[in-house]
Every structure is written in structure tokens, then in C-alpha cells.
Amino acid sequence: MKTQTPTSQGAAILRHLKRGRKLTAIQALKDFHCFRLAARISDLREEGWDIRTKMIETEGGSRIAEYRMP
């Protein structure tokens, strides 16, 4: 199902996830200068990648999405 090549930002995010690492929006901003992680994850999912979302609670009590690949 993977028909397109991800953008360079998407490719970097995909490599990160394929290495078994988790990713949040804050980490994506720091590591990949990505302001719209959810959009990049959506792009990758449309290409057929199995990316899971887990909602986690920060120390401050906010809930944020954490992405990973199984």
C-alpha cells in the first residue's frame, strides 16, 4: 500500500518510528522542526504505515498524543 515517498520531514519521522522510538509533538518540533506532527502522521498512515496513537498525561496534567509503530 505504500505508494508514495514521504516528504523529507515525513521520511525523518518515519525513520524515527521504525527504530522503535515514540514521538510527541514537542519532540517532533525539537528534533525535526515539525509544527504539524498530526498532519505528517496522517500522511504516513495514508501511505499505509501502521502508526499507533496513545494519549498520555504530562506532568502538568495535559493530555497529548504519543505516536509509535508496533
Residue 13, all three cell numbers:
519521522
Please give the pLDDT value at position 42: 97
Between 4 and 11, the more confident residue is 11
Please give the pLDDT value at position 49: 97
| Model confidence band, residue 6 (pLDDT cutoffs 50, 70, 90) | low
Residue 1: is its pLDDT beyond 50? no
Helix (H) or strand (E) holding 49, with range, is none
- Where do the structural domains in the chain lie, given as residue ranges? 8-68
| Cβ-count burial 20-52 (b if 16+ within 10 Å, e if not) | eeebebebbeeebebeebeebbebbeeeebebe
pTM value is 0.85
Q: What residues contact 15, with CB distance under 8 A and at least 6 apart? A: none
In this structure, CATH architecture of domain 8-68: Orthogonal Bundle (1.10)
The Cα–Cα gap between 34 and 22 comes to: 15
Tens digits of residue pLDDT in 11-45: 999 999 999 999 999 999 999 999 999 999 999 99
